[in-house]
Every structure is written in C-alpha cells, then in structure tokens.
Chains A and B, each alone.
Chain A
Amino acid sequence: MVTYIIRRILMGILVLILVSLVVFFALRLLPGDPALIYVSGQSGGQGVTEERLQEVRKEFGLDKPIPVQYWNWVKGVVTGDLGTSIRYQQDVGKLFAQRFPVTLILGFFSVIVSTILGIFFGLVAAIRRGGWIDTLVTFLSYIGLTIPVFLLAFVLIYVLGFKLHWLPIVGWTPPWKDFGMSVKQSIMPVICLATIPLAVTARQMRSSVLEVNNMDYIRTAWSKGLRERVIVTRHILKNSLIPVVTMVGIGVGIIFGGAVIEETIFGIAGVGQLLATSVFARDYVVIQGGALVIATIIVVVNIIVDISYGGLDPRIRYE
C-alpha cells in the first residue's frame, strides 16, 4: 500500500511537471509572438513598434534561451509569482486569491451534491431496474448529459428569476457577509455546475451496480439466504462504488470547465469569469496561471481519489 501511494504521488508529480511544460510551451511554440500579444493587448493594437517589442522581451526575459525562460518561470510559480496581468496590470497571484475562493466554494458544494445524489439515484435505478424510477433516472441523466450549461441557466433565470422572482439573477455574496443572500444566490449556479457530474455519476453508478449484481459472489450471497437490504448494503454497494470513486476526479474537471460559463452568466467574480474575460482580452498571463492552478488542483484530487480507491479495494491495498 505504501509503495502504491508513493508511486501514485510520484506519477502525479511527473504529470505536474508535464502540465507546466504544456502551459509554458503553449505560448512559445504555437504561432503568435507573446511579446506582440502582450503589446497589442496592452495598448489595444496601437503602438506596436519593434523597439517596444524588444523592450517587452527584455522585461519578461523573453530574449533568454527557452530552458532559462522555463526555469525562471517555474521558479516564479513555485514562489507564488504567476506574473502580472496584462489587462488588470496586477499581480496574477493576487487576482486569483480574490477569485479562487468563490469558485472553490461553489464547486465544493456542486461536487458534494452531484456525488451523493448521483450515487443514490444510480443505485436506486439499478436495483429497481426496468421500473419507473429507472426509466425516469435514465431519461433525466440523458437530459443532464446533453443540456448545455447555458440553456439550463437560461431556464432557471427565466423561470425562477424573471417569472417567479424567487431568486436573484446575478452576483454572488460570500456566506460570511450575508448568509441568506449567499444561499439564494448560490442555488442556481450550483444546479448548473452539478447537473453534468450528477448525470455522469448516476449513469456510472447504475451500470456499475448492474455489473456487480451479475457477479457470482452476489449469487453466493443470495444463496446464503440474506435479505435484499443486506445484500445491497453489504455486498453490492462497496463493490460498485469502486469504479464510481474515480468519477469524482473527473467531476471536479467538469465543474471547473462549467464554472467558466456559469460564472459568466450569473456575473460571479470567480476564476471562471476571470479566464473567460482574459481570453477575450488575450491576457495570456492570467490564462496561463489559471490553467496551471486548475490542472494542479485536478491532479491532486485525482491522487487523493486513487489513494482512497486503494482503501476501498483490498486487492490494490495488498498489491
């Protein structure tokens, strides 16, 4: 088990190094001169002169050899220096410090909601296979998988906001400032974020339970005369959770992706919105930092998931 954990962590570190390379080289190997992007982004297309470009290159160390540039960049990243935003003319680390908590709070609740409900609905659907609950869950999970986040947001805003006036349609307040308001403002964003992972988890759980249900050892359990409830909770549940746990890692990715759209629609000042507006402004420093931080979070979550996987499955534990 210890070897397994260490190997998993080392693999995660390797992937993180590769992630940093991707982020770094995305800007340098692809067509488009970062200095040009920088200058034109800063001045809105005017004042692009060769002197200005040289100046910028020198300022950001872009005139140095690529490995040196990478090394300097990594050194900066490790010490928390993600560079200066072109658009905001502000330290990117500081920008993130304001916005990540918002995204993480909403994301955290979305993960909790989607995981718990997804496992529950998937389990119920599989156990009552072919019944009306199963049909309903299956159909709703299809809807959840295929509905664009913005369509869901439109429907929610139109019905709950414009027509019923139950919930505010824009903005977000932290819970420590105004708890009631915060809850109200969180409902629609969390629904938008949680829908896809919920559908994914429910489907995975359903098929996983159905598969476990076909296993020989479940037949053995029935042959002992156990009641159905015991068979489900003792014999089926743990086994079917094993593949579902990996979905949590994927769900976190989906939620960060969804946050870009959800925060734009609801006018929430989180990382997603920051990234969306930065792309528009070609503020690559912010995008670079954002992509790096989000990828890091996802890698770390996946490491944790894989380790807990070992806890669920004794076959891995003793490998």
Chain B
Amino acid sequence: MSEVFVMDAPETVAAPRVSEWKRFLKILFQRKLVVFGVFVLLCLVLVAIFAPLIAQYDPYKNDMAHSLQSPSSQHWLGTDNLGRDVFSRLVYGARTALEVGFGTVAFAAILGVILGLLAGFLGGWTNAIIMRAMDTLMAFPMIVLALLLVAVLGAGIQNVIIALGVATVPGYTRLMCGTTLSVRENEYILAQRAIGAKSLRTMVRHVLPNAIQPVIVLVTTMLGNVILAEASLSFLGIGIKPPGAAWGSMASAGFRDLGTHPLLSFAPALAIMLVVFAFNMVGDGLRDALDPKLRGKL
C-alpha cells in the first residue's frame, strides 16, 4: 500500500546537520573565563593524582628545626609552625578537596535526582512529603546543619561527606522536581501515554533524560560550593582532622601567624578560591552551552 498516494515529493533534506557536540563545545569555550576554569580544574585533577610525584616533602612530617620558614628554593612556599612544607601540604590538600567534593556531590545528586523525579512525576502526596522534607532541611543554613551532624557523628572525611551531602540534597531535589514538572507538561509525555507506554518507562526513558540537564550545571557549581563548605568546616577544626592536609585547616592553622607569615593562611585560602571560582566558571559556561533557549534556535 502506500507511496503512490504521497504526491508531494518526499522530504529528503532536514536542516543542515550541525554536530550538537561541536556547537556545545563552541559555545562552552567562547568565554575566556571558562577556558581558564577548565584549565585550573585539569591542573587540580592532575595534581591530586600525581601528588606524591609533585610534592618534594612528606606533608605530614614535622620538622621543628625548620618551622615558620619564609619561601625559599627548598621550600617554595615556606614551612608552617610545625616545620611542614606548605607546598607539599597544598598538593595533598587537592586530594582531600576533590575527594570530599566528588563524594558529597555524587551522594547528594543521586539521591536528589531520584527524590525530585519521583516528587515531580508522581505529584500528589509523594510530592508533598518529599518537598516538605526538603523545605525542612532547607530551613537550616548548610554550615549549621553540617555542624549538627558532625557534632553527632564526629569529625573525619566520611562524616563530612555525609553531613554536607544531607545538607545539599534539597538543592538537587527542588531543581529536579521543578524541571520534571515542566518536562511533564510537554505533549511528548502525553504522547507516551497515548501509545500505551507504562509510567515507569516514561519516567525513566523520557522524563529523566530531558530533566537532568540543569542538574549537570548544578553539580558543577556545587562541587565548588561543597569544597568551600568543607574548607569552612576544616577551618573551624571540625572537618578533616589534623594532621590531614586540608586547605581549610591549613588556613586556620596559619591564622595565628597572619601578621608575620601571611602566606601560611593566604596560600591555602587562595587555592580554595581558585578552585571554587573555576568550578563556578565551568558551571556557568555549561549552563549557557546547554541553555534550551539557545539550542535548536538555528
């Protein structure tokens, strides 16, 4: 049966094919600050992986004979009050930062995406329960909630990850719920019902992939925010316990010598800022590159 009745010429040409990926990269790297951010993050990851090769000294070994030295060719950034090489500690601190960052974000993002998807797609009571729970967690400032949890769980890298994870879940849940709700409004979701697809299939195959994009942007910026929060907890002495090399605790330890040896606290603090800044830049770049308003426009 068929073709005979189609008198209009078949449409063989679609719009000229532009690689999605190419366009994405083009928009992403349009801004110089994004290039800078990606560069910083690449360096950070490399430093964290090859920390033992880069650091010339044991970051944990005290050497009281050489404490509080100014920068020199042996100690590029000097030594701290216990005589430990600041540069080596900074290098190992990158590991801690990334570990906490990725650990927390993975935990919170996965949980948040699932909860948000369920709340948004199922609506009704599921939505009410999940979203009120999230409102509750959102009522606490992130640091205060983390303090509460650390007070109970005790310090240490795992507990910091759990505490910050719980504190950041609402962000992902709310975002995911919001995008799910708007994706659900689309006719293609209705179309799935019309052709007889079951809810679970629709939710996983059609809602999730279309709703997840903003979460990717959030994940990027949250990596920065979480590293910043971990630094704040470590700064207060309740995050990563000494002698663990965490930038926050280094900054805090250097504080008492701020007047005489400002580099002790400035160096780790600047490292934190650089990394957080880089994650924010890349996050913003991603948002522009993924922006549905720009997509499909041409």
Contact = CB atoms under 8 A, between A and B. Distances in A.
B273 A148 contact: yes
B150 A254 contact: no
Given A32-B154, A275-B144, A287-B151, A148 B228 contact: yes
A137 to B, nearest CB: 15
Most buried by B among A22, A32, A146: A146
Nearest to B221: A145
Contacts of A254: 141
A180 to B, nearest CB: 24
B236 A264 contact: yes
A162 B259 contact: yes
A271 to B, nearest CB: 10
B152 A30 contact: yes
Contacts of A162: 258-259
Interface in B104-150: 132-133, 135-145, 147-150
Given A142-B280, A146-B276, A282 B151 contact: yes
A154 B132 contact: no
Given A150-B235, A279-B238, A280-B238, A287 B148 contact: yes
Contacts of A18: 132-133, 135-136
Contact of B140 (A261, A280, A291, A302): A291
A32 B153 contact: yes
A256 interface: yes
A145 B224 CA distance: 10
Interface string B232-272: 10011110000000001001100100110010011001101
A248 to B, nearest CB: 14
A1 interface: no
A230 interface: no
Contact of A150 (B151, B154, B232): B232
B173 to A, nearest CB: 15
Most buried by A among B137, B238, B269: B269
Contacts of B228: 146, 148
B231 interface: yes
B252 A150 contact: yes
Interface in A92-110: none
Contacts of B238: 276, 279-280
Contacts of B153: 30-32
B277 interface: yes
Contacts, number: 146
A11 B280 CA distance: 34
Contact of B270 (A151, A258, A260, A284): A151
Interface in B147-182: 147-154
Given A14-B132, A15-B135, A294-B141, A276 B147 contact: yes
Contacts of A74: none
Interface in A125-173: 142-143, 145-151, 154, 157-158, 162
A296 to B, nearest CB: 8
Contact of A151 (B144, B149, B251): B251
Nearest to A34: B152
Contacts of B265: 150, 154
Contact of B236 (A158, A261, A294): A261
A253 interface: yes
A77 interface: no
A264 B232 CA distance: 11
Interface in A21-44: 21-23, 26-27, 30-32, 37
B139 A284 contact: no
A256 B235 contact: no
A19 B252 CA distance: 31
Contacts of A287: 147-148, 151
B151 A279 contact: yes
Nearest to B262: A158
A299 interface: yes
A288 B152 CA distance: 10
Interface string A274-290: 01101110111001101
Given A19-B139, A257-B142, 7 more contacts: A14-B132, A143-B277, A149-B232, A261-B232, A279-B238, A280-B236, A298-B139
9 contacts: A22-B136, A154-B251, A158-B259, A162-B258, A261-B143, A279-B238, A294-B141, A294-B144, A295-B140
Interface of A: 11, 14-15, 18-19, 21-23, 26-27, 30-32, 37, 142-143, 145-151, 154, 157-158, 162, 253-254, 256-258, 260-261, 264-265, 275-276, 278-280, 282-284, 287-288, 290-291, 294-295, 298-299, 302
Q: Which 3 A-B pairs have the closest CB atoms?
A: A257-B141, A151-B269, A257-B143
